[in-house]
Amino acid sequence: MSESSKLPFLPFALPDIGEEEIAEVVDTLRSGWVTTGPKAKRFEQAFAEYLGEPQIECIAVNSATAGLHLALEALGIGPGDEVITTTHTFTATAEVVRYLGADVVLVDIDPRTLNIAIDQIEAAITPRTKCIIPVHYAGLAVDMLSLLDIARKHGLKVVEDAAHALPTTLEKELIGTMGSNATVFSFYANKTMTTGEGGMLVTRDPELARRARVMRLHGINRDAFDRFTAKVPSWYYEIVAPGFKYNLTDIAAAMGLHQLKRLPAFQRRREQIAQRYLQALADLPLILPPEAPEGDTHSWHLFVLRLSDEAEISRDEFIERMFALGIGCSVHYVPLHQHPYWREQYGLTAERFPHSQRAYERTVSIPLYTAMTDEQVERVIDAVRRSLGLA
């Protein structure tokens, strides 16, 4: 068969962890402070500086899921409330709404961007609606100006799921500084930077931040807790709510400090690979992902191909052929309305989400990560051509 099938399998995603991260983790292990401590604090400050707003509140957590849960909890979302989000996302975006006993209302996507269909949000609003959770799919910003207008008009909160969107910009402003109530980033292993597991909740609302910090660690009143690190020793603390266990360890933050420093270089490499794919795959029976508007940044967390009608194979067949050629692919996402839990909980049918359903049936994500070599990028391009029967 082809030469490429003899090469080692190229996984769909791999983290890019350097010697600085490793040395910092080792330093943490030797320091005696392995849970949340000075490095988690430094990581929060460094993140605020990265966003260009040293005063913005950054709350390090052990996952983006935890951050989304904390943000909604702090906004008072609870039983009887409805939260609007896209069906074309990972279940974490929506499950946190159910943790709080509130209901999820799913909206279809814009077939071009695969982001939530802005023009369908208003029809989903009811007297019970409290919040909207936009997801910056693949790393392309949602039209936040229109979305925030709708939210303002109807008195709704907005929590951005920015798990894909570091660094993504809209009108030259980084996601995280758009003016929603809160934004949550993910540092899961396959995201644009990683701490193994981790996330960051970002907000300009001091009350939201105060509540999230208390609920991040068992509902411990921070004023009492902080006395542990003060000059005068104190064993006393107070529990003011039944909180969660969502703090980020210093081991994870040690990785985060160096991943964050490398983020600009990571982004340049992702952009380079994306541009190579856009150029090399342009003449194939594919719909290529939209780029960010001129002057803005697409994080390229995902590179999502869509087989066009002229492509004579199914998406599943395409993935099987890529696999046979030694290339790992993925699908983002099996939409929420397809999963048994969400389908049965809300009696959902695919007919209600035609654009998401069609995207699900025809899209495939190909490898795009900074640890890939130029040769591996060319191997992916060659495998895409072969899989479409065009090489």
Footprint on this chain of ligand PLP (rule: CB under 6 A): 63-65, 89-90, 92-93, 135, 161, 163-164, 186, 188, 199
Note if 191 is an active site residue.
Answer: yes
Cα 185 from Cα 254, distance rounded (Å):
17
Report the candidate in 234, 198, 239 with the shortest Cα–Cα distance to residue 222.
239
Cα 96 from Cα 243, distance rounded (Å):
15
Task: From residue 227, give the alpha-carbon distance in Å to each of 104, 232, 237, 238, 272.
Answer: 40, 7, 9, 12, 49
CB of 1 to ligand PLP, least distance (A): 34
92/327 with CB nearer ligand PLP: 92
Q: 279 with 273: CB under 8 angstroms?
A: no
227/339 with CB nearer ligand PLP: 339
CB count within 10 Å of CB 2 equals 13
Instruction: Determine which one of 39, 130, 157, 191 is catalytic.
Output: 191
CB of 206 to ligand PLP, least distance (A): 24
Residue positions annotated with a catalytic role: 191
